[in-house]
Amino acid sequence: MSGETADPRTAAPTVTAPMVEAKALVKRFGDVEAVRGVDVQVRTGEAFGFLGPNGAGKSSTMRMIASTSPRSDGDLRVLGMDPDLDGPRIRARLGSVPQQDTLDTELTVRQNLQIYGRYFGLSRAEVRRKATELMEFAQLSDRADDLVDALSGGMKRRLTIARSLVNDPDVLLLDEPTTGLDPQARHMLWDRLFRLKAGGVTLIITSHYMDEVEQLCDRLVVMDDGRIVAEGSPSELIARYSTREVLELRFPPGEQGGVADRVAEFGERVEELPDRVLVYTGDGERALEQVHGRDVRPVSSLVRRSTLEDVFLRLTGRTLVD
């Protein structure tokens, strides 16, 4: 790198190139088109989310970004490099938490971390130090010399995340980080991810839990059937595609028919789900009074704020988790 020719990356230090830039990105598996033209830009230091139901193409997209899966079409730059040409160099600077844990269950917690660190060219002394630090971070220090096989699901997940941090990655990819975990384990993981973000790590997270994305992400895309159907911050998306509040009405089995039409005028929009009717409105309490005035008698009712779940429902007509 000579001083004469300006490196585009150093030319304007305040405007950093995107960590990830995808244009019309496509992934095909035989006849199945899993990703059908995705455009995203992930900026340095942000937490970026892919929200979508199972089969939306989130993992396929993540694997292409992780430079473990070649793209079928379109353009992709990760850390300014092309994964097709510079896969190993990109992977050297990424952390990857795949949907499945892929830990070596016949080795100890410490061994898993140390061995993995060696693949990134770290010395024995470095991986020893790093393993100790990461076990502390993942609250696994007291399990350091236990076999991974004996750990709980939440601990294994934490270890997978710890493992992905062994090279101090610039970008951390998390594919469904908390799927299958109990609420306590999820909150503990979220706490760790907040700390990483505060430490300047760029996070890319996929999830089919709207609360996870709402909690963690600055910006997200909603994905469905291989395509992006909306993009923005959680609050922007809610403001754009939903109302401030939602009134949920539940009825005894078989008595929900026709309700949607009768209450339609009390909200900007009404959605009928198999087990409840949702009334989208700026003022849920008022809508509930009006519903009662119309002599509609639900077995239970609930006024809540809109979430990304409502955004998804609006955009696709389906729920995220069924």
Partner 1 sequence: MAAGAETRAATGSRATGRVVGSWRAAWLRVEAHWTWYRRYWRSSLYSSGLQPVLFLAAMGLGFGSQVEAGPATGGLAYVHYVAPALLVAGAVQNAIGESSYPVLSGFKWQQDYYAVTATPVTAGQLLGGQIIWIALRVGIACVVYTLVALLFGAWLNAGALLVVPIGVFAAVACGAAIMAVAATTYNEGERFAAIFRFLVMPMILFSGTFFPIEQIPAAVRWLAWISPVWHGTELARGVTLGGLDVWPALGHLTFLGALLGVSAALARRYFYRRLVV
Question: What is the contact surface with Mg ion in residues (CB under 5 A)?
Answer: 58-59, 99
Pick from 140, 51, 59, 71: nearest CA to 103: 140
Give residues with Cβ within 8 angstroms of 20, minimum separation 6: 40, 41, 42, 48, 65, 76, 77, 78, 79, 171, 204
- At 190, is the secondary structure helix, strand, or coil? helix
- Indicate left, alpha or beta for 20 from its phi (over 0: left) and psi (-120 to 50: alpha): beta
Binding site partner of 200, from partner 1, ligand ADP, Mg ion, none, Cβ cut-off 5-8 A by kind? partner 1
231-236-239-240 Cα dihedral, nearest 10 degrees: -30
CB of 218 to partner 1, least distance (A): 19
CB of 33 to ligand ADP, least distance (A): 8
User: Is the CB of residue 112 less than 8 Å from the CB of residue 104?
Assistant: yes
Q: Please report, as residue ranges, which positions from 188 to 217 form the binding site for partner 1 (by CB under 8 A).
A: 200
CB of 62 to Mg ion, least distance (A): 8
Range in contact with partner 1 (rule: CB under 8 A) among 66-74, 205-213, 227-235, 278-286: 66-74
Site membership for partner 1, residue 80 (CB under 8 A): yes
Q: Please report, as residue ranges, which positions from 3 to 22 form the binding site for partner 1 (by CB under 8 A).
A: 7, 9-10, 13, 16
CB of 58 to Mg ion, least distance (A): 5
- At 283, is the secondary structure helix, strand, or coil? coil
Query: Using CB under 6 A as the criterion, which residues of the chain lie in contact with ligand ADP when the complex forms?
Result: 29, 32, 34, 52, 54-60
Amino acid type, 6: A
Distances (CA, A) of 53 to 24, 153, 197, 301, 310: 21, 22, 25, 26, 13
Q: What is the CA radius of gyration of the chain?
A: 23
Range in contact with partner 1 (rule: CB under 8 A) among 114-122, 229-237, 238-246, 299-307: 114-122
Catalog residues that contact partner 1 under the rule CB under 8 A: 1, 7, 9-10, 13, 16, 29, 44, 66, 68-70, 79-80, 87-89, 91-94, 96, 98, 100, 102-107, 111, 115-116, 118-122, 126, 163, 167-170, 200
